[in-house]
Chains A and B, each alone.
Chain A
């Protein structure tokens, strides 16, 4: 469990953007996985199987969470424009702070669900294309295409905040 705690918790945090909910979800996922262990046939790797459970559980939580606001891009820019600007002008380390994490969640919520999932699997958890394909039960080409479209849309959504030259200079 220790081996997968960071990955599952990180994925839940990226998907749910709320520490308490993410921790609760991660617990549910491990309990569910523990109970379903006899059903694990070894057709995929254990981590892929666990990611599948995690994805489905996070989607369930998101669907049940009707009260949670999903942000339209315009509303978000209007409400949080300055904060987004600060986020992209600041040191990336500051992005891990709680308020920035919330803001990141709002930005990601402007994306369709499948784009958010694939970006989280790739960017937050560092899964390889093949692992993503197995987790989402789709082809490698579908993963590449969806990932590329998701990145394009996210960059397009953030284009006003990515214009400044200082943002591009990394490392």
Chain B
């Protein structure tokens, strides 16, 4: 292997995924090449300072776990609350409106005349026009609705 090829493999050696044969070749090269040794040492120095290993005490770990579990529990509760919140905010008003609309449609509107089943006026008018048109003598006169209204 040339120096350039070895240089490309240097960091693979540092990172670890070289085959046994490649590892031996690169390590052999490293013993003879100060430039490559320097490159690896320089990187180790950078890495050690910019990515220092982190240590956490058992107590801080316990505290962390307890906090996460608290949040998991409270988020489960919140999820339950938000389901009820949806019911209160949307489902109840919707059902209430539907009931109110049904009650208005069947009970109140017929009395106001806004909704009307065929009334006596309309029935009389249609009959009188039929009678006068047919001229069958059963009912020659036509009456105004006022005259027969109670």
Q: Could you give, for residues 107-139 of chain B, a 1 whenever the CB lies within 8 Å of some chain A CB and a 0 otherwise?
A: 000000000000000000000000000000000
Question: CA separation between A126 and B43, bound complex, in Å?
Answer: 15
Main secondary structure of the interface of B (DSSP, over half): helix
A residues near B21, Cβ cutoff 8 Å? none
Does the CB pair A162–B46 fall under 8 Å? yes
Does the CB pair A31–B45 fall under 8 Å? no
Does the CB pair A26–B64 fall under 8 Å? yes
Known: A96-B54, A128-B16. A1 touches B68 (CB 8 A): yes
A residues near B55, Cβ cutoff 8 Å? 96
Question: CA separation between A162 and B42, bound complex, in Å?
Answer: 7
Closest A residue to B58 using CB positions: A2
Does the CB pair A5–B65 fall under 8 Å? yes
Judged by a CB distance under 8 angstroms, whether B146 is at the interface is no
Does the CB pair A162–B45 fall under 8 Å? yes
Judged by a CB distance under 8 angstroms, whether A14 is at the interface is yes
B residues near A120, Cβ cutoff 8 Å? 51
Does the CB pair A5–B64 fall under 8 Å? yes
Chain A positions 98-112 with a Cβ under 8 Å from a chain B Cβ: 100-101, 104, 107-108
Closest B residue to A12 using CB positions: B54
Judged by a CB distance under 8 angstroms, whether B102 is at the interface is no
Does the CB pair B50–A107 fall under 8 Å? yes
Question: CA separation between A37 and B68, bound complex, in Å?
Answer: 15
A residues sitting closer than 8 Å to B (CB atoms) are 1-2, 5-6, 9-10, 13-14, 23, 26-27, 30-31, 34-35, 87-88, 90, 92-93, 95-96, 100-101, 104, 107-108, 119-120, 122-124, 128-129, 144, 147-148, 151, 154-155, 158, 162, 167-171
Excluding A124-B51, A170-B41, 18 further A-B contacts by CB distance (< 8 Å) are A2-B61, A5-B65, A6-B56, A10-B53, A10-B54, A27-B68, A31-B71, A34-B68, A92-B49, A95-B49, A96-B52, A96-B55, A148-B11, A155-B42, A162-B45, A167-B42, A168-B42, A171-B44
User: Would you list 19 pairs from A and B whose C-beta atoms are within 8 A, ordered by A residue?
Assistant: A1-B65, A5-B65, A6-B56, A34-B68, A35-B72, A35-B75, A88-B45, A90-B49, A92-B48, A95-B48, A104-B50, A123-B47, A123-B50, A147-B15, A155-B46, A168-B38, A168-B45, A170-B48, A171-B44
